[in-house]
Amino acid sequence: MRRAVNVGDMQELARRRVPRVVYDYIEGAADDETTARANSAAFDRWVLIPRVLVDVSIRNLEVELFGQRLGLPLLLAPTGMAGFASPAGEVAAARAAERFGIRLVVSTASAYSLEEVAAATSQPHWFQLYPWGDRGLMTELVGRADAAGFGVLCVTVDVPVTGNRERDRRNGFTVRPRLSLRDAADVVRHPGWWAAYMRNRRFQMRNLVTPETAGSLATIERFARLLNPQVAWEDIEWLRSLWRGPLLIKGINHPEDAARAVSAGADGVIVSNHGGRQLDGSAATLDQLPHVIERVAGSVPVLVDGGIRRGTHIVKALSLGAKACLIGRPYLYGLAAGGEQGVAAVLECYRSELDRALALAGCPAVSDLNDSYVRRASSVR
């Protein structure tokens, strides 16, 4: 694999190595994709204010989070069907995460089951669940996650229906895929990806497999039917009663929703707009982060995802009060480009950039970051 010196390099490698339909699935967002772009652009509205003549000969990148000591203030976000990017899927991502002392949040829609990920790894990773209308299924999944040793439950609340992902629609990559001749020809032009697919066929949502839904399409169709536009805070309170460990609510943008999440028993919130894949035109997550931080007033940790492509982005988010960040598309770039080694290469980019940024900002530890290290770009003096 050609050396990638930043996430952008890995993105370009991924674009070349997988068929367009797969790359568009990874990269695409809703409608005009304005929110996806806004997530990244928001980091340019904040500038770093470094301190000097500080002893930064030793830097500490570790963070304590829900009883786990993480090597970086970073997690791999839940992404459905990582097997599209690479047949190694979530297992490769989780193993790469463990090399850096961090965790993967395994999606309900993962290409490897909870049990398969747990058997292939040595650390307590996290599990992401949708609050569906089928409480029997949710009870089953929560019990399986607990039995498999998953440490934290993340409940994603911003998908009452799926967003309008036009790249996928143009490619015929919907609940019932209908690829055009052009798309089929493009798949053939990527023989490495095609051969890996034929050997492994990791195109199922393995957590949703039943005797009646053994095929790839059947699990995708089942997932679509399970989405619950009636989901309410009572469902969160019910899930809280089921799960003994830390529970986070993912998909929070409004400060009042953050407060309500805490009232419902959440141990933390994740400021997220699903990477711009749901409601286009919604606010960038970094812009909403300070408002959520202010509203919860230190009662629970606040995490954030969306547009985080550099170590300096992590510094800015933590300076604004986030406890840790999550990345989704970047680790999928790594998977697509080079499997487990590709994910590890992406994480090394973040680690080295974060370490260097701390030194240059005059801050010896991520735990020391605060709002004195950042200013709105328009307010710099």
Average pLDDT over residues 342-354: 98
- Domain-located, residue 1: no
Lowest-confidence region among 3-7, 221-225, 289-293:
221-225
CA-closest candidate to residue 82, choices 344, 273, 336, 278: 336
Domains in the chain: how many in total? Answer: 1
Q: What is the mean pLDDT of residues 346-359?
A: 98
pLDDT of residue 157 exceeding 90, the answer is yes
Report pLDDT digits (tens) over 274-323.
Answer: 999 999 999 999 999 999 999 999 999 999 999 999 999 999 999 999 99
CA distance 32 to 164: 9
Query: What pLDDT digit, counting tens, does each position of 29-44 carry?
Result: 999 999 999 999 999 9
Does any domain span residue 128? yes
Output the CA–CA distances (angstroms, integers) from residue 105 to 140, 285, 300, in the order listed.
Answer: 18, 19, 19
Contact 107, 84 (CB under 8 A): no
pLDDT over 90 for what percent of the chain?
78
For residue 145, what is the domain's CATH number?
3.20.20.70
Residue 59's pLDDT is 98
Give me the residue label for tokens 């290290």. 373
Confidence of residue 78 (pLDDT cuts 50, 70, 90): very high
Look at the pTM and tell me if it is higher than 0.85: yes
Indicate whether 276 belongs to any domain: yes
Alpha helices in the chain (DSSP H): 7-17, 20-27, 34-41, 89-99, 114-120, 135-147, 166-170, 181-188, 191-200, 216-226, 233-242, 255-263, 285-296, 311-319, 329-361
Catalytic one of 125, 190, 254, 274: 274
pLDDT band, very low/low/confident/very high, at 173 (cuts 50, 70, 90): confident
The domain of 89 spans 7-379
Residue 2 lies in a domain: no
Taking CA atoms, 340 is separated from 26, 45, 90, 108, 327, in Å, by: 17, 34, 9, 20, 16
What pLDDT is stored for residue 1 in this prediction? Answer: 57
Burial class of residue 251 in the structure, from the number of CB atoms within 10 Å of its CB (0-12 exposed, 13-18 middle, 19+ buried) = buried
Decide if 238 is inside a domain.
yes
pLDDT of residue 176: 58
* Cβ atoms of residues 94 and 117 within 8 Å: yes
In a domain, 121, yes or no: yes
Residue 254 catalytic?
no
Any idea how long the chain is?
A: 381
Band of the pLDDT at 180, cuts 50, 70, 90? low
Question: Is residue 212 pLDDT above 70, yes or no?
Answer: no
The answer, yes or no, to whether residue 216 has pLDDT greater than 70, is no
* Residue 70 reports pLDDT greater than 70: yes
- 103 falls within a domain: yes
pLDDT value for 215: 62
Q: What is the mean pLDDT of residues 347-356?
A: 98
Tell me, yes or no, whether 314 lies in a domain: yes
> What mean pLDDT is predicted for residues 126-135?
94
As a whole number, mean pLDDT of residues 101-113 equals 95
Check residue 194 and give its pLDDT: 63
Reply yes or no on whether the pLDDT at 115 is more than 90: yes
Average pLDDT of every residue of the chain: 92
